[in-house]
Amino acid sequence: MLAARKGQKNVILIADNIQITNRAVAEALSEMRPQAIQELAKQCEAAGADMLDINSGPLSRDTENKMRFLVESVQEVSDLPLLIDTANPKAMAAGLRANRKTVIINGFSLEPAKIEAILPLAKEFDADMIAYLLYPDSRVPSDSTQRLNIAVEICNEIRKSGIDSNRLIIDPVIVPLMWENGTAQASEVLSVIRMLPDVLGFPVRTVAGLSNLTSGKGNREKKLIAEQAYLPMLAASGLTMALLNIFHHETVRTARVCSLLMRHSLSQTAAIFTWEEI
């Protein structure tokens, strides 16, 4: 089971760069040549990633071989824990079988098909799993109360499936700021992260897709500023993991400073300015 160390205040950074929307990844997967994927994995690790998300997309053809290829290619050059990110159950199963290290299923929701297909895989492979706080029809809840109700339903489904609730990682679902209610939704996500442990009755881990916050059209510099401003708010609310573009170097540095500020006592504050860990 992948878990934060007792008392750990670091936000774990998950690189979301290995995804099928990346042209180099798509071409490498089409030709089944691992070099570009492996180089990207090494770059992500060098940039400060604690974990790697492998997002294969829907994989409508040759799903099992392609997911196996992705996982094996990355694991040849990196020992980082992996998130296998696909909505295709066959591809998910193939990735879990190919995995040789720590792995997280990313992910499932209350959508009936996902409960039926993904929960048995989590049990079979004894894997941690990410659950999205979405309605069964994949709609995004409008406020924290609705999200928390969904979290309770998800916990009930997990228990019915005979899976340890400590395997669960909750994704409260960040939406783009450009949505009509985007800023209000960003505030609701913070509330959910703060309240989840009390509502569920155990210290549930959380993950947030930071890249979602600034998706869509817009000025890149302003997007990065928004990302850098929101991450400390997530960290202060108790976020465990952040899924982000690991090549947004200033955001990564911000995350490291957040960790230092939360970890050090007041007597150690001066050590922050040595920037040894940044």
Q: Which architecture characterizes domain 12-248 according to CATH?
A: Alpha-Beta Barrel (3.20)
β-pair partners for 242: 13, 208
Question: Are the C-beta atoms of residues 169 and 207 closer than 8 Å to each other?
Answer: yes
pLDDT at 169 over 80: yes
User: Residue 6: which pLDDT band, with cuts at 50, 70 and 90?
Assistant: very low
CA 270 to chain centre: 32
Domain positions in the chain: 12-248
Q: With bands split at pLDDT 50, 70 and 90, how would you rate the model's confidence at 268?
A: low
Q: How far apart are CA 245 and CA 168, in angstroms?
A: 23
Q: Rounded distance, CA 93 to CA 97, Å?
A: 6
Confidence of residue 57 (pLDDT cuts 50, 70, 90): confident
Residue 266: predicted pLDDT: 46
Structure tokens at 201: 């009755």
Q: Which two tokens stand for residue 26?
A: 């798509």
Angle in degrees, 0-180, between the axes of helices 23-31 and 35-46, rounded to the nearest 10: 140
How far, in Å, CA of 278 to CA of 269, rounded?
14
Q: Is pLDDT at 168 greater than 60 in this prediction?
A: yes
Q: What is the mean pLDDT of residues 21-42?
A: 94
pLDDT at 1: 65
Q: What is the pLDDT of residue 59?
A: 72
Q: Where are the beta strands (DSSP E) in 44-161?
A: 51-55, 82-85, 103-108, 128-132
Beta bridge partner(s), residue 54: 18, 84
Residue with tokens 């998130």: 83
The CA-CA-CA angle for residues 201, 159, 134, to 5°, reads: 75
181 token code pair: 């209610």
Let me know how many helices (H) and strands (E) the chain has, helices first.
10, 8
pLDDT of the residue at 274: 55
pLDDT tier at 177, thresholds 50, 70, 90: very high
Q: What percent of the chain has pLDDT over 70?
A: 91
Summarize pLDDT for 199-213 with one digit per residue, the tens: 999 999 999 999 999
Confidence of residue 153 (pLDDT cuts 50, 70, 90): very high
Q: Which of 142, 238, 150, 224 is nearest to 185 (CA)?
A: 142
Write down the H helix ranges in 32-181.
Answer: 35-46, 63-75, 89-98, 112-124, 144-160
Task: Give the pLDDT of residue 9.
Answer: 60
Question: Which residue has tokens 């960290």?
Answer: 235
Residue 278 in this model has a pLDDT that exceeds 90: no
Q: What is the mean pLDDT of the chain?
A: 91
Mean pLDDT of all residues in 12-32: 94
Burial 104-134 (b: 16+ CB within 10 A, else e): bbbbbbbbeebbebbbebbbebebbbbbbbb
Higher pLDDT, 217 or 91: 91
Looking only at the bridges linking them, the beta strands covering 205-209 and 128-132 are unpaired
